[in-house]
Structure 1
């Protein structure tokens, strides 16, 4: 039998999905391990998608997406992200994940290196490996407020480095970079002639601090910006995102899109058009709910004496459980699930710097969230657990 591609075999399994799938085998689990908004999708969005199916709008669209949708996105970028682009710089993708994949495919060649945050979303290291590219983690530490350190980045650069990937608001950390920090990162990228890929999927969810799109500061066309409607409008299963590129790349993108998915399904594109142009009540109410959950969750952790990183954005809480995880937080998270019926994402699913931490999602109902947090062992109740009896090694990445 022929061998599977070495690139494919190099992709690590997702530590988040492992917990999610294990939780599916249990009853009465409080599910906090995945970023799934629980609020119902706005009716005008559902109606637009359903009407498109009923009207048999099921044919191919342009590779980069429907013109009406790209025009609406351009208006949104000018209004909310404070930068202007032509429609041919906007490309509709199958979710933010494919937007990331396309951005890396357009900027990296096998053998290159990409600088990725650690901790950072698992896909940041999975996609490069599929492309034969080396992901080089730059460490984000509690001592630095989980913000990028320019000295750390300088140490990571080599002659093969081609891309700097940043994520603000951050998944899993909830950190939002200031305009000054973004300008410094752009200057760093310019010094080393790097592309910048900016994951801005959580753009509408910041709390008490302003969100800035790095493309609004870009003066030399080096930024690729990744967006998604999955979190903004609760459309995780619709799989629609978009990539905003520097000028002059449209023809190359469309050829690459034709070689992968051809185009995003038409009814989903029309649903997103309705989302962008219709009432924004869902986004406003979701932001208020997540902000409220942040307050009650942090109050509960303060009461328990558990250390955490207070989120400035996104809808996650990054919690320190090193007092009980005994240097193996992946095993601890599985044991916690099996014994307490609470699913949390182990920090090592986001990189080695996540050891001793967990990520929980704040996008669900408040009462189950508080119940789950009360089950976390407080410092002082810190007897380390043993590795649970599980067939596969739970440690990934």
Structure 2
């Protein structure tokens, strides 16, 4: 008996690394995990009550126990089309939307359909490891372009040009970013679109953290994409704090008929016919969830994420050997740089994470998981007392392990200074959330109307 070689090659770096760490924590200390990108892990962040009620009603009605259309129910697709239509483009119709089993399946559909045999897809580095895992699973080649910490983890456009060739099928971007917490400006998105148009590439836009910004507004790339086709993916999972509900979507934004003529829409629909879509009651509840006025609830969630990011920056600033190169502006992560010269007995992020777990029972994800060696990623979806305890342990660990006194230097831009710029920037978030509440809390189609709020 033989195993499909494509499955054997597929590897989720996060699971591989975390599985190697299992059981290595200090038994004398309770485990504190700053690793899992699940906003529900500690139980203090909950979805809107109205969203839960909508799901309960859908189940209790008894009207949604059977199959629905493979690409999603008409009402669910229409609701997603309404909330994700963008300014400067024709409004989406339900035929432009495919409902998927979470955002992961939406990403898989994009990669599977666009990457013909021999093609390659361009992926961000640092980036979410599922992208390359999906490529491996389907035998698709991938290449990495770089993100620049000195410009807020924006895309290094020149690196895209370097890795592009005639076999490149798509450029995948992630905004807001996991693991960097970057949120792209309108100007940067325009630069990306211009480059994609020059290279004649469609964009795969992972926008699952849309609306989860606290430093600058989220702008969907489709809003500025012009004639560049965009396959945008999202889900209820992060923004509504319900990753276990597994309801995602894929929206096709295009002016013209390029994707239609090439058979992309038909191919995506055929892929949907394999999994038959997510839970029918969840699809029935989705229109009510998307239409909720949950602005007060979301503002409170964003404040907690902002507070955790700011507190983490404050703690990092006083720990020798650690720094934040660019403060997060959205999502729910902080990427922390480790000075390898400061920890000579922990020369890699993998060993740093392993020793931190063994000695202090604090679990962080090594940056190697995200093609970012020399960093660790922490989540900000942690209750304040737990986060404080975690940083106390990290500080104690670093004090023992740091081998020399470091001088604070400016290695790239002012935002890269150890702690200082980070602390200067993050407190602006509170006033930003208050002053731009409407912009941050509306769906993308309505955010687009705030022209001068950027």
TM-score scaled by length of structure 2:
0.78
Among 322, 331, 335, the alignment partner of 2:339 is 322
Residue in 2 aligned with 1:293?
Answer: 308
- Deviations for 1:199-232, whole angstroms, at most 9, x for unmatched residues? 1111111122121111111221411101111111
CA contact (8 A) 1:72 1:273 kept: yes
Report the CA distance between 1:245 and its aligned residue.
1.3
Deviation at 1:144, TM superposition (A): 4.5
Correspondences of 1:245-324 after superposition (within 5 Å): 245-246=252-253, 248=260, 249-259=264-274, 261-280=275-294, 281-305=296-320, 306-308=322-324, 309-323=326-340, 324=343
Q: Which residue number in structure 1 is paired with residue 418 of structure 2? A: none
Task: Give the structure 2 partner of residue 42 of structure 1.
Answer: 48
Runs of at least 5 residues in structure 2 that lack an aligned partner in the other structure: 255-259, 405-454
Structure 1 stretches (4+) deviating beyond 6 angstroms?
79-83
Cα 1:218–1:13 shift into 2, 3 Å: closer
Q: Contact conserved, 2:148 with 2:156, CA < 8 A, in 1?
A: no
**Which deviates the most, 28-37 or 10-19?**
10-19
RMSD: 2.4
User: Any conservation in 1 of the 2:169–2:202 contact (CA below 8 Å)?
Assistant: yes
Q: Cα offset for 1:21? A: 8.2
CA contact (8 A) 1:202 1:232 kept: yes
Q: CA deviation at 1:164?
A: 0.5
Q: Please, which runs of 5 or more residues in structure 1 have no aligned partner?
A: 385-397
Post-superposition offset of 1:241: 0.9
The equivalent position to 2:60 in structure 1, one of 54, 63, 78, is 54
Q: Following the alignment from structure 1 to structure 2, what is the Cα–Cα distance between the partners of residues 282 and 81?
A: 30
Matched residues in 2 for 1:274 and 1:92: separation? 16
Q: CA deviation at 1:282?
A: 3.2
2:241, 2:149 → 1: CA distance?
30
Count of aligned pairs: 380
Counterpart secondary structure, 2:243? coil
Q: Is the 8 A contact 2:203 2:228 kept in 1?
A: no
Q: Please give the alpha-carbon distance, in whole angstroms, between the structure 2 residues aligned to 1:24 and 1:74.
A: 46
Which residue in the other structure is 1:371 paired with?
389
Task: Assess if the C-alpha contact under 8 Å between 2:10 and 2:133 holds in 1.
Answer: yes
Q: Distance in 1 between matches of 2:355 and 2:97?
A: 44
Q: 1:110 aligns with which of 98, 108, 117?
A: 117
C-alpha distance after superposition, 1:70-97 (max 9, x if no partner): 2221221248998731111111111111
Report the TM-score when normalising by structure 1: 0.89
TM-fit CA distance, 1:178: 1.1
